[in-house]
Amino acid sequence: MNPAIWQGKIFTGSWEFGAAADVQITEPATGETLGTLGVGSSADIDQACKTAAAAQQAWAGTPFEDRAAILRRAAALFEQHEEEIRTWIIRESGSISPKAQLETRHAALESYEAASLPSRAQGDLLPAADPSRISFSRRTPVGVVGVIAPFNFPLLLAIRAVAPALALGNAVVLKPDTRTAVSGGVAIARVFEEAGLPAGVLQMVPGDAEAGATLVANDAVRVIAFTGSTAAGRHVGAAAAKHLKRAHLELGGNSAIIVLEDADIDLAAAAGAWGSFLHQGQICMTAGRHIVHESVADEYVAKLAEKARNLPVGNPATGEVALGPIIDKRQLENIHRLVTDSVASGATLAAGGEFDGLYYRPTVLDDVRPDTPAYCQEVFGPVAPVIRFRTIEEAIDLAKDTEYGLSLSVMSGNAMNAWNVARQIPSGLVHINDQTVADEAHIPFGGVGNSGNGSRIGGAEANIESFTDIQWVTLQQEAARYPF
């Protein structure tokens, strides 16, 4: 991670100048410039795709044991350099240390998990109508995979696509968010460079929306793995469809935590606080809607607000804090607008609603309605809106009343009753007696509705389906004879 290696450069299999421009890497907690990195133009993206395509065939032909070994070495390097990479995540994205440590740990786990894929991309021996013929299917790499990753979990949300795509014999062009391009781009490029990945197989080119559009449109790229907002995902999905290529879209969310009347309110409030305030609420799975039975709502709001008032907010690089800074001024202004509009429309501010610089206090809103702005829209900030329900049917209807369908939590003293509620609500992820934010390297991850297009990244089956094609093959000893 030595800046002398990557300052002002992009990664094309080696570190080189020649990018269209530089971007300053800024620490949101202090405004300090941490370094500069090359930013790619459309021409840089096209050249990266061309280089990746040229390198991919030899990589696909590499024995599966050798590909697996490189993935294992990458995993070990993520472990070996955990502290160094974690420091960059903290300073570049405003993460508290435990969240940053979760990312580095998962980067290693994702790579170890991916190391099992080269030997598992198997086909089937198929029945043949002609007994002199062998008929089978096999899995083949798609070619070049474009990965577009966001700022909030910069390392994790990039590596979970990069690692399996590489393991299955593809080349990858990675475009990280320019705000977190070191922890979400440089770290990955350096690890795979040191792990012995052949030059050219991985390209890392930070860029803007135009660079992303070029990546989606490039003929060499056959699959796009995109993580970001629903609005941006619509554009990516439409552009990919125009070019007849697959797009795996992991998009926004407005996930519900339902608190039934028999729930342990102390545990439920702790789960609600974690689900809404972790990483300043800048997580797609954040608990954005707290749907609480009216008999326990006052107690729940009081305990949630007490937690919000006492959570320390500050610079995670210099102190023991629970929340760091919002990523930038634009995002903070959007959070505050939704909070103030909600209060103006009748919500009660139970805690928070204040900020200092980019530090936004964890906020609890009570007395919200289905049309309250901070309840019905994705805030992407540390805001917990609480709405009350009387009947189970009302709770289910409230939870279903959203365009999103990413994660769902139901808290109850009776797990089977909670499951009976949860199974009636469309959601890609469901957690009974736990909060909404969770991910593991081996599980299929994705949402429904406007949270994604039903694709899954994670787990052997989903990754093989995502990053390979199926080819049908027939084989016979002699050439077939036809009457023409």
pTM of the model: 0.96
Work out the pLDDT band at 18, boundaries 50, 70, 90: low
Query: Which range has the worst mean pLDDT, 88-97, 366-375, 442-451?
Result: 442-451
Round to whole Å and give the CA distance between 417 and 274. 23
Cα→Cα distances 37→9, 172, 175, 185, 260, Å? 6, 19, 13, 10, 49
Share the mean pLDDT of the chain.
Answer: 96
Q: Is a pLDDT exceeding 80 seen at residue 400?
A: yes
pLDDT at res. 19: 67
Tens digit of pLDDT for each residue in 190-212? 999 999 999 999 999 999 999 99
Residue 24 per-residue DSSP state: E
Banded pLDDT at 456 (limits 50, 70, 90): confident
Burial of residue 447 (CB within 10 Å: 0-12, 13-18, 19+) is buried
The DSSP bridge pattern shows strands 429-432 and 407-411 to be parallel
Largest CA distance in the chain: 84
Superfamily (CATH) of domain 255-432: Aldehyde Dehydrogenase; Chain A, domain 2 (3.40.309.10)
The mean per-residue pLDDT over the stretch 294-319 comes to 98
Q: What are 174's two structure tokens?
A: 């990675």
pLDDT digits (tens, 9 = 90+) for 256-289: 999 999 999 999 999 999 999 999 999 999 999 9
* Residue 458 DSSP SS3: coil
Q: How far is CA 107 from the centre of its chain?
A: 12
* Residues labelled catalytic: 250, 284
The mean per-residue pLDDT over the stretch 376-405 comes to: 98
* Res 455 pLDDT > 80: no
pLDDT value at residue 16? 86
What confidence tens digit (pLDDT) does each residue in 33-65 have? 999 999 989 999 999 999 999 999 999 999 999
Instruction: Give the span between the Cα atoms of 179 and 162, in whole angstroms.
Output: 19
Domain topology for 3-251+452-473? Aldehyde Dehydrogenase; Chain A, domain 1 (3.40.605)
Task: Give the pLDDT mean for 447-451.
Answer: 95
CB distance 205 to 14 below 8 Å:
no
| pLDDT value of position 459 | 87
Could you report the per-residue pLDDT of 129-184, keeping only the tens digit for each? 898 999 999 999 999 999 999 999 999 999 999 999 999 999 999 999 999 999 99
What is the rounded CA–CA span in Å between residue 51 and residue 33? 31
Confidence of residue 458 (pLDDT cuts 50, 70, 90): confident
For residue 179, how many other CB atoms are within 10 A of its CB? Answer: 21
The H or E element spanning position 430 is: strand 429-432
- Per DSSP, 197 falls in state P
User: Looking at residue 364, what is its pLDDT?
Assistant: 98
Report the pLDDT value the prediction gives residue 457, as an integer from 0 to 100.
82
Contact between 46 and 218 under an 8 Å Cβ cutoff? The reply is yes
Distances (CA, A) of 164 to 81, 167, 361, 390: 21, 5, 38, 46
How do the domains of the chain map onto residue ranges?
Answer: 3-251+452-473, 255-432
Q: Which residues pair with 383 in a beta bridge?
A: 363
For residues 71 and 164, what is the distance between their CA atoms, to the nearest angstrom?
9
